[in-house]
Amino acid sequence: MSFQPVIPLSGLGGWAFLNRTRARQEASFNAVPQLQRDVAYFEEKFQKISTADQLVADRRLLRVTLGAFGLQDDLDNRAFIRQIIEGGTDDRRALANRLADKRYFALASALGHLAKTDPTDLQPDLAERLTASYKGRAFEISVGEQDQTLRLALSLQRELPQLAESYSTQASRWFAALGNPPLRQLLETSLGLPKEFGLLDIEDQVTRMQIAMSKRFGTSDLLDMADPVKLKALTHRFLIMSQIREVQAEMSANNVALILLQNIRS
């Protein structure tokens, strides 16, 4: 991609600037010839495939598909992706249902027509929805190349409302959130949880997160947090906590350097 978003600041200042200019910057990003060619190719070819084998055999097609789900790092894992898609989601023992990362479940669910011998249930607008998701996530990646914290903040605006819409119970929303690596990282940072938190049993993690969420935002339900007002508060909290952690890490590194220097002098 030849266009890079302009992000002159970090933290809350950078977030405010990005929000003011996002529509214009994203439009410029989407106008990049390479991106337009990839999208046009996908929309032309996707409707013609009928098996997972055909999808993974076309690297260009697969790149856009995986990018739509934030799984672009799996581009070279073709056998694994084929297994995910062919297994579908109907069987509880299917690989997509057993993986902690729920992005694979979303992939298998969306491409369910490729898991069947008679793919008659292809959603007519699926190609357009996938390319829209691909472009949105590609823009987030370009932001992340300059500021990873702002990339996560952008992804939150998409991920949390989608999660609230896709899961019917409070518990299922929390388990899905913890199974989404970027969303999990964002929640852990926002709630001030230590790195060792992930070593706890998954049910214990959910309970502790709910308690922390309730104390900070007055609710333990992620459905409530998808409300625009609370979503804004969560985003700001994440940006502030990220900056605090960066300062703490820098101070710790400086202290180590000072101790080493003192030992050398002594």
Assigned token pair, 31: 């106008």
Tell me which fold the domain 11-132 belongs to: AGR_C_984p-like (1.10.3700)
pLDDT score for 233: 96
Instruction: Return the domain boundaries, the chain.
Output: 11-132, 181-265
pLDDT digits (tens, 9 = 90+) for 4-16: 899 998 999 999 9
Model confidence over 70-122: pLDDT tens digits?
Answer: 999 999 999 999 999 999 998 889 999 999 898 999 999 999 989 875 555 66
Q: How far is CA 116 from CA 66, 88, 102, 108, in A?
A: 20, 9, 21, 12
Count of CB atoms situated within 10 Å of the CB of 257: 10
22-26, 46-50, 247-251: segment of lowest average pLDDT: 247-251
Return the residue matching tokens 């080493």. Answer: 260
Band of pLDDT at residue 3, cut at 50, 70 and 90 = confident
Nearest CA among 160, 178, 154 for reference residue 223: 160
Distance CA 19, CA 152 (A): 14
Contact 28, 139 (CB under 8 A): no
pLDDT digit string (tens) for 227-255? 999 999 999 999 999 988 877 766 655 55
Q: What is the pTM of this model?
A: 0.85
